[in-house]
Amino acid sequence: MAPMKLYGWAVSPWMARVLVCLEEAGAEYELVPMSRSGGDHRQPEHLARNPFGEIPVLEDGDLTLYQSRAIARHILRKYKPELLRSDNLQESAMVDVWVDVDAHQLEPIIRPVVFNVIIKPFTGSDCDQDLVDESIEKLKKTLEVYEARLSTSKYLAGDFVSLADLTHFSFMRYFMATQYAEVVEAYPHVKAWWEALLARPSVKKVMAGMPPDFGFGSGNIP
Amino acid sequence: MAPAAVKVYGWAMSPFVARALLCLEEAGVEYELVPMSRQAGDHLQPDFLARNPFAQVPVLEDGDLTLFESRAIARHVLRKHKPELLVGDGSPEAAAMVDVWLEVEAHQHHAPTAAIMVQCILAPLLGGARDQAVIDENVPKLKKVLEVYEARLSKTKYLAGESVSLADLSHFPMLRYFMETEYKALVEELPHVKAWWEELKVRPAARKVKEFMPVDFGLGKKVDQ
């Protein structure tokens, strides 16, 4: 069986979300690098894989998948189902809740901070500081909820690590490289949970491909 | 063993609450809708925050389990009561395609559809004016997304394959409102998307849930409560 192929650029947080799952699963895969600045994702060859013109895309035999969380679920279902807990109704429901909390509560807040604070300076645009400040205030309220949750369970879905935790890593990796990391570190249980994530071999491996400046500083622009 | 009582907290005209109700109806699960008032700020009260600290509806209580995030609730209801709507025939391929198109709904379809719907329907109901600039920004985005849907639905009857799934159902609540705007033409000009929508809306579960979803969100009429 040919190894799975993952198309994209490794610095992308969407790409990294999938890479962490592949590493956790110990699955064989080939990373097919693409160039964002070269517009590879808009070429007909890629649009045939993903008509939305985005990365990552996973090829697993005849199956071609896109949307990072759908790819993540597929990999774990196939190779490490305990990270989804699909055999347990209560636990799998909690995994689903916190995967969606990341998608709909946390990521919409930290994305604009990462974009304004890290990327914009490199692309010659002005940082929207008002938006950043507003986002940080929202983040504090959201982190209060995470702190309360992680005070009662070791991980987000329960006392077991799951996709719910892993899915948070890639965007947080960049947020925590900004001066606003201290906002997260003020919450002791969130901080401990984050540090536990960073200690995972899968996360260390994927993080090695994610320079905090997305590669802009060294000229390795994706 | 008697089944645990299922309760949904929220206002049924919310497309997010409706998503949960639709799945319960599809699965034939008995449930109680605990009505809440957005205007009265019920979602900000301590007893509700104890259920969902993010202060949003819907919340589902299923025995000891308290869930929030409408698509997580949907997954749970179907996993428990009608798994074929979540995982198809149970093959990895079938389950993966449902996940792909559910993510597409959440991350490609929802934002531009909601943006247009809010400006056309909600903004005027809430006493404001529609912001045409927001609509004009989102129409081309939605057009591009729907072109992908048209291509997909030209190949398969439903989004994840030949059988209906949560991926299709998840679109119903927002489209229910969007299709009351003049921008419904974006759907109607695409024959396969149009046919797919026509099929969705006549499902008994969809018809039932629509009864709770007046196009004026219950805001247009002055009724003594």
The tens place of each residue's pLDDT in chain B, 225 residues long, gives: 555 589 999 999 999 999 999 999 999 999 999 999 999 999 999 999 999 999 999 999 999 999 999 999 999 999 999 999 999 999 999 999 999 999 999 999 999 999 999 999 999 999 999 999 999 999 999 999 999 999 999 999 999 999 999 999 999 999 999 999 999 999 999 999 999 999 999 999 999 999 999 999 988 754 333
- Burial (CB < 10 A; 0-12, 13-18, 19+), residue B34, is middle
What three-state secondary structure class fits A178? coil
Any CB–CB contact under 8 A between A96 and chain B?
yes
Residue in A96, A105, A163 to test binding to B, most B beta-carbons within 10 Å:
A96
Q: Which residues of B are less than 8 Å from A63 in CB distance?
A: 92-93, 96
Q: Which residues of A are less than 8 Å from B151 in CB distance?
A: 51
C-alpha–C-alpha distance, residues B53 and B45, integer Å: 10
C-alpha–C-alpha distance, residues B104 and B110, integer Å: 8
Judge if ipTM > 0.95: yes
A-B interface: how many C-beta pairs under 8 angstroms? 81
C-alpha–C-alpha distance, residues B203 and B208, integer Å: 9
CA angle B26, B54, B37 (to 5 degrees): 65
CB contact under 8 A, B54 and A105: yes
Summarised one tens digit per residue, pLDDT across range A39-57 is 999 999 999 999 999 999 9
Tell me chain B's radius of gyration from C-alpha atoms: 18
Any CB–CB contact under 8 A between B92 and chain A?
yes
Any CB–CB contact under 8 A between A73 and chain B?
yes
Q: Where are the alpha helices (DSSP H) in chain A?
A: 13-25, 44-47, 68-79, 89-101, 107-114, 120-123, 129-152, 163-166, 169-175, 181-185, 188-198, 201-207
CA angle B109, A56, A180 (to 5 degrees): 85
Any CB–CB contact under 8 A between B106 and chain A?
yes
Any CB–CB contact under 8 A between A100 and chain B?
yes
Any CB–CB contact under 8 A between A69 and chain B?
yes
Order the strands of the A63-66 sheet from edge to edge. Answer: A29-33, A4-8, A57-60, A63-66
pLDDT range class, residue A127, cuts 50, 70, 90: very high
Chain A stretch 153-212, residues whose beta carbon is closer than 8 A to a beta carbon of chain B? none
